[in-house]
Copies of this chain bind each other. A is one copy, B any other.
Amino acid sequence: MLHTLPLHRFHESIVLPPADIERIQTMGEAPTQIARHAVLRREGETPRHIYLLLDGWVASSVLLPGGERQITKFHLPGDLLGTPSMCLARAADTLTALTPASVSRVPLAAFGDLFMRSSHFAAAMLLSVQRERVALMDRLAAVGRTPALARVAALLLDLAERLGALGGVELSSFELPVTQEQIGDHLGLTAVHVNRIFRQLVDGGLIARHRQRVELLDCARLKAMSARQERAPAADVSWLIGTVGAPA
């Protein structure tokens, strides 16, 4: 069943040799089921693992001294979680399940071993981390410089895109298994204000909602008000992996 690992995040730009795929599939421990609200790893702990999310949603969050929380990322299946903290003595982010989830824990040593053995894996990892960094830059720009409406629109479009990529289809309707408070913590807003923005979006005919399902009714207009940049991944990464020796 490990053959069904969602590894798409690893070959977004780089096609890995089969041997590396094999190694990725075996570097993680047996998958664990965790309940909603369960904490995979708390900030402050010594980082000894990273985590491959197989199913469900997980939030990565940072706690401020005053108790405020910033959610740094809503993780979807296929994401590798907790990697930023690998450079620190104590983990910076807490990983909390937003839904029941299935996770494979990966010892840092196993990850490190693969990283050092396979330069192609290392290259894929580098690009993947840089992509996350760009996403963080974009959200910083959104939180620092755009009004609440734009931020919510951007989040909805981002999720639709990422969920669509997971299934390989265009999505205009999806489950959003996240409370409005969590959305607020992700966008630097209050739960109350997130609620009001949703109302505006519904009243404006931009989205529809029943319970946790969201339907994007007018993607074009949403995109216009989201102030979000399109970020096309590098088409040619031969400067990194070379053209010879690269797997077809």
Instruction: Take A108-B240, A141-B70, A188-B143 as given contacts and tell me if A126 and B122 are in contact as well, using a CB distance cutoff of 8 Å.
Output: yes
Instruction: Take A138-B62, A229-B92 as given contacts and tell me if A126 and B126 are in contact as well, using a CB distance cutoff of 8 Å.
Output: yes
Task: Kindly state whether residue A123 has any CB partner on chain B within 8 Å.
Answer: yes
Partner of A65, one of B70, B119, B122, B227: B227
Instruction: Take A119-B119, A143-B143, A232-B88 as given contacts and tell me if A137 and B188 are in contact as well, using a CB distance cutoff of 8 Å.
Output: no
Task: Kindly state whether residue A30 has any CB partner on chain B within 8 Å.
Answer: no
Min CB distance, A130 to chain B, in Å? Answer: 4
Partner of A87, one of B66, B69, B108, B131: B131
Min CB distance, A232 to chain B, in Å? Answer: 4
Q: Once the chains bind, are A133 and B140 in contact (CB under 8 Å)?
A: no
Binds B, one of A34-42, A109-117, A203-211, A213-221: A109-117
Min CB distance, A19 to chain B, in Å? Answer: 16
Cβ < 8 Å to B, chain A residues 20-45:
none
Please tell me how many copies of the chain the complex holds. Answer: 2
Binds B, one of A78-86, A160-168, A174-182, A193-201: A78-86
Min CB distance, A248 to chain B, in Å? Answer: 18
Task: Kindly state whether residue A145 has any CB partner on chain B within 8 Å.
Answer: yes
**What 0/1 pattern do residues 29 to 73 of A give for CB contact below 8 A with B?**
000000000000000000100000000000000101110111010
Q: Kindly report which residue of chain B lies nearest to residue A118, judged by CB atoms.
A: B119
Q: Once the chains bind, are B87 and A130 in contact (CB under 8 Å)?
A: yes
Q: Once the chains bind, are A133 and B143 in contact (CB under 8 Å)?
A: no
Interface of A, secondary structure class, is helix
Min CB distance, A115 to chain B, in Å? Answer: 7
Q: Once the chains bind, are B88 and A134 in contact (CB under 8 Å)?
A: yes
Whole-angstrom CA separation of A123 from B235 in the bound complex: 24
Whole-angstrom CA separation of A143 from B142 in the bound complex: 10
Partner of A227, one of B66, B112, B136, B234: B66
- Scoring A131, A133, A232 by chain B CB atoms within 10 A of each residue's CB, the highest score goes to A133
Task: Kindly state whether residue A129 has any CB partner on chain B within 8 Å.
Answer: yes
Q: Kindly report which residue of chain B lies nearest to residue A140, judged by CB atoms.
A: B140
Q: Once the chains bind, are B130 and A122 in contact (CB under 8 Å)?
A: no
Query: 6 closest Cβ contacts across the A-B interface?
Result: A144-B188, A70-B141, A112-B240, A89-B232, A68-B145, A87-B130
9 contacts between A and B (CB under 8 A): A64-B229, A72-B141, A84-B134, A85-B130, A88-B231, A92-B231, A109-B239, A117-B119, A140-B140
